[in-house]
Structure 1
Amino acid sequence: MTLPDGYSSNHANKVCRLKKSLYGLKQAPRMWNEKLVNVLLNLGFEQSKCDHSMFVKTSNYVFIVLLVYADDIVITGSCSTEIARIKSLLKSKFLIKDLGMLKYFLGIEVLKTKDGLCLSQRKYCLDLLAEFGMTGCKPVNNPIEANHVLTRLCEQDTKVLPDISVYQKLVGKLIYLSHTRPDIAYSVHYLSQYMHCPTNGHFKIALRLLRYLKGSPGKGILFSKGDSLDLKVFSDSDWGKCIKTRKSTTGFCIFLGNSLVSWKSKKQSTVSRSSAEAEYRAMCAATCEALWLRNILNELKIDIKLPVPLFCDNTAAISITANPVFHERTKHFEIDLYFLREKISKGVIKTVGISSEDQSADIFTKGLLVQAHEKVCKILGLFDCFAY
């Protein structure tokens, strides 16, 4: 912080004493969050232990949930009168603006349909296409080639981009777009591995992904109506996917009822010595996410039916979970073994075999053929409100 213009002082060793947090200072966001949390706690809210941005209030059969992102707030609940009262109390503490029903939040459009609620980033996607000059491009039907030979393409065009900031900016925007587009999660996962040294080949793959988005910029996640609130977990892995490191790729997706609520595509941190080990590590990662979601739902007063089914298409990995004997083939990943077996023995998780054709998490570990890609997208609940 510098002294204001026109102020002069003969005491060079003195410093300014800050009495109020100002925008632009490092501690300003922390001080704002601290003040907001204190106000919400005084209003009777409880801060979630699993997600500190969520606040829950329950009293006299009234249930209110409040989500905070910086200075943007979403509030919902079972009583409109209580919601209005809380808004009035917040208005007495802060200078706020009530935007009414939730329609647009952090670049995400919230659309009501006859089947449920759809989250889409259509405007964000169209702006992205316009920014990179792909508005008039010819669309393709899948984000990345099936069983793609990416290394061959990258080996043919290994010239490093003269300005890597363009690639970094594109991939960064795609990462945010993947919040409502699980169908591009694997492609973005691959591209993000080369943020510091991208080649022309990587940039061509990113542009191909934009051509895929051009075909359906309004596609998003549909949270459909239903009576079931049971968790279902699908886990998959692609063994030795990375040619350079031979690390495998973990992919999983979790459904609450018929709606997709969580997914991930990520390279594993260690090298797996077998496909069964790679699948087992993916199952452990999916189990951790399922346990976190269960805790979140418990704070929202939703009881989850146990055990939670964990679907896997690798019979060897499922056999390891049921075998109480630790032998030479499994001793190098015993921590994961103990973790998953403990959850199974306590009745929290139940492993279920599934065919590869019905594996929903397959889209998070590899590129699929057009027909298979469209099938999985339909299972994941991807829906385009603007196509009708």
Structure 2
Amino acid sequence: MTLPDGKKTVGCKWVFTVKYNSDGSIERYKARLVAKGFTQTYGIDYSETFAPVAKLNTVRILLSLAANLDWPLHQLDVKNVFLNGDLEEEVYMDIPPGFEDKFGSNVCKLNKSLYGLKQSPRAWFEKFTYSMKKQGYIQGQADHTLFTKFSQDGKIAVLIVYVDDIVLTGDDIVEMTRVKEKLALDFEIKDLGSMRYFLGMEVARSKDGIVVSQQKYILDLLKETGMSGCRPADTPMDPNAKLWEEGSVPVDTGRYQRLVGKLIYLSHTRPDIAFSVSVVSQFMHSPFEEHLEAVYRILRYLKANPGKGLFFKKTSERNVSIFTDADWAGSVTDRRSTSGYCTYVWGNLVTWRSKKQGVVARSSAEAEFRAMAQGICEGLWIHRVLEELEMKIELPLKLYSDSKAAISIVHNPVQHDRTKHIEIDRHFIKEKLDAGIICLPFVTSSQQTADILTKSLARPTFEHLIGKLGMIDIYAPT
């Protein structure tokens, strides 16, 4: 057809790839027509592009539930995922290379999404959501990629999607079989069987629980950086190291950013490096040799135990525990504090975070308050996810802090002079405390698990806290 007035075309190209088998032999040759989405104009051939993907925090919650309730974990893969979406906008594309002589000055009008278009991920997710809701599934509000269906006898089927990777679990085996058959009719689905490898994470299961690690990812990273033969380090960061914004010799910014980016992805299964990765990621805009040395120290630590990962074990606990801590004025560059929290669902670590606070705290109690507020927000989100799954939750949620001053201020709001500058956080925490949603038990600093997320520690303390995080190495020699 000819191009209508006021419209523009999107370019396209052919992409040729080779897909290999695990033994290195060629499985098939692939040719794909890809649109040049960078030529699209907002308001003409695309509008909204945002598409949700599964939160890895939600995936870890499901792994903890699956380990405790003996749920099976099935993995599905959608072939040619972005070709399934229906376009809402009018998108016109140039004639594919090699067909110009046949079609002359005509253009193509796209009825379905195509690889490369800005709105393709969103179009696919909307099509998938419509298919799931039509089958009676309820879309989660805490995580929009989570779909649940409850049967009349109280059983549940749970599905979570990350672009074209789908994890299916629950105790309703009949429904799980049925939904796989229905999805195979609506889309081109490949059943990968039991969950073994998901988003670069290796999943191993036994009668004792589930272990998630990234050994292959780490070994590939060490090989890529030439660190395969390096001397291992005991901890990811020197306890006495202080990194300033300025250094002696600047280094390649692009290479530094790629390295740190890979470490950020690795920290999805390695909470033991969360703090050190948080520190080195603060210098992405202008890295120096000292910062790169800190990155190499993390790699040397990973060389010592590449197979270490999270262990989701079966427990009798049915509660949610939160540990929060803050390192007051710990940053030598701007004296901002570092917040850290980690949460446990039914006895297993599912979420954690290490982050420098946005403003300078005027007291250690203020720094602790900010960390507590972040931990409570995370706990409330987990509580909401578990409610949507209709899982048993013991209230109040336990939030462990090693700051007696912060706990005292929450229970005694009369201390005005000490709390004027943290009024919002104090009222937020007090509201949840009065409602019985949380309680604030005191924990000693030596037992504060979140301490590993706020500062670099000496080896004995570091190894003690790693044990409390529930990390094991199934590849270690016995």
How far off its partner does 1:317 sit? Answer: 0.7
Q: Measure, in 1, the Cα distance between the counterparts of 2:206 and 2:105.
A: 65
Where do residues 350-361 of structure 1 align in structure 2 (5 Å cutoff)?
350-361=439-450
Residue 164 of structure 1 aligns with an amino acid whose one-letter code is T
Match of 1:210 in 2: 299
Residue 253 of structure 2 corresponds to residue 160 of structure 1: no
How far off its partner does 1:9 sit? Answer: 3.1
1:112 to 189, 197, 205: 205
Q: Measure, in 1, the Cα distance between the counterparts of 2:207 and 2:465.
A: 22
**SS of the counterpart of 1:286?**
helix
Q: Is the 8 A contact 1:147 1:366 kept in 2?
A: no
Q: Measure, in 2, the Cα distance between the counterparts of 1:16 and 1:159.
A: 53
**SS of the counterpart of 1:100?**
strand
Where do residues 91-240 of structure 1 align in structure 2 (5 Å cutoff)?
91-151=184-244, 157-161=247-251, 163-240=252-329
Of structures 1 and 2, the one with the larger relative CO (CA 8 A, separation 6+) is 1
Q: Is the 8 A contact 2:318 2:345 kept in 1?
A: yes
Match of 2:33 in 1: none
Match of 1:56 in 2: 148
**SS of the counterpart of 1:25?**
coil
Where do residues 82-97 of structure 1 align in structure 2 (5 Å cutoff)?
82-97=175-190
Residue 424 of structure 2 corresponds to residue 332 of structure 1: no
Residue 169 of structure 2 corresponds to residue 76 of structure 1: yes
Match of 2:105 in 1: 9
Q: Measure, in 2, the Cα distance between the counterparts of 1:29 and 1:343.
A: 38
Residues 319 and 27 (structure 1), Cα distance of their counterparts in 2 relative to 1, 3 Å cut: same
Moved over 4 A (4+): none
Residue 162 of structure 2 aligns with an amino acid whose one-letter code is Y
How far off its partner does 1:375 sit? Answer: 0.4
Match of 1:39 in 2: 131
Q: Measure, in 1, the Cα distance between the counterparts of 2:329 and 2:150.
A: 48
Q: Is the 8 A contact 2:330 2:336 kept in 1?
A: yes
Q: Measure, in 2, the Cα distance between the counterparts of 1:233 and 1:20.
A: 46
Match of 1:346 in 2: 435
Select between 295-304 and 364-373 the one with higher mean Cα deviation. Answer: 295-304
**SS of the counterpart of 1:284?**
helix
**SS of the counterpart of 2:377?**
helix
How far off its partner does 1:114 sit? Answer: 4.0
Gaps of 5+ in 1: none
- How far does the alpha carbon of each residue in 1:33-54 deviate from its partner, in whole angstroms, 9 at most, with x for none? 0000000001111010000111
Q: Measure, in 1, the Cα distance between the counterparts of 2:296 and 2:161.
A: 34
2:341 to 252, 264, 267: 252
How far off its partner does 1:307 sit? Answer: 1.1
**SS of the counterpart of 1:297?**
helix
How far off its partner does 1:8 sit? Answer: 3.5
Q: Measure, in 1, the Cα distance between the counterparts of 2:310 and 2:462.
A: 15
- How far does the alpha carbon of each residue in 1:148-200 deviate from its partner, in whole angstroms, 9 at most, with x for none? 3334xx76x52111x21111111000000000000000000001111111001
Q: Measure, in 1, the Cα distance between the counterparts of 2:175 and 2:119.
A: 33
- How far does the alpha carbon of each residue in 1:200-219 deviate from its partner, in whole angstroms, 9 at most, with x for none? 11001100100000011010
Q: Measure, in 1, the Cα distance between the counterparts of 2:347 and 2:166.
A: 27
Q: Percent identity?
A: 48
Residue 366 of structure 2 corresponds to residue 277 of structure 1: yes
Instruction: Name whichever structure is richer in strand by fraction.
Output: 2
Residue 304 of structure 1 aligns with an amino acid whose one-letter code is I
Where do residues 295-310 of structure 1 align in structure 2 (5 Å cutoff)?
295-310=384-399
Residues 37 and 121 (structure 1), Cα distance of their counterparts in 2 relative to 1, 3 Å cut: same
How far off its partner does 1:229 sit? Answer: 1.7
Select between 38-47 and 59-68 the one with higher mean Cα deviation. Answer: 59-68
Residue 181 of structure 2 aligns with an amino acid whose one-letter code is S
How far off its partner does 1:115 sit? Answer: 2.3
- How far does the alpha carbon of each residue in 1:345-369 deviate from its partner, in whole angstroms, 9 at most, with x for none? 1111111111111110000000111
**SS of the counterpart of 2:395?**
coil
Q: Measure, in 2, the Cα distance between the counterparts of 1:329 and 1:359.
A: 24
Q: Measure, in 2, the Cα distance between the counterparts of 1:159 and 1:295.
A: 48
- How far does the alpha carbon of each residue in 1:110-169 deviate from its partner, in whole angstroms, 9 at most, with x for none? 111342101111111111111101111110111001243334xx76x52111x2111111
Q: Measure, in 1, the Cα distance between the counterparts of 2:418 and 2:359.
A: 16
Q: Measure, in 2, the Cα distance between the counterparts of 1:115 and 1:9.
A: 65
How far off its partner does 1:328 sit? Answer: 2.4
How far off its partner does 1:16 sit? Answer: 5.8
Gaps of 5+ in 2: 1-9, 12-93
**SS of the counterpart of 1:109?**
strand
2:119 to 19, 27, 47: 27
Q: Is the 8 A contact 2:218 2:302 kept in 1?
A: yes
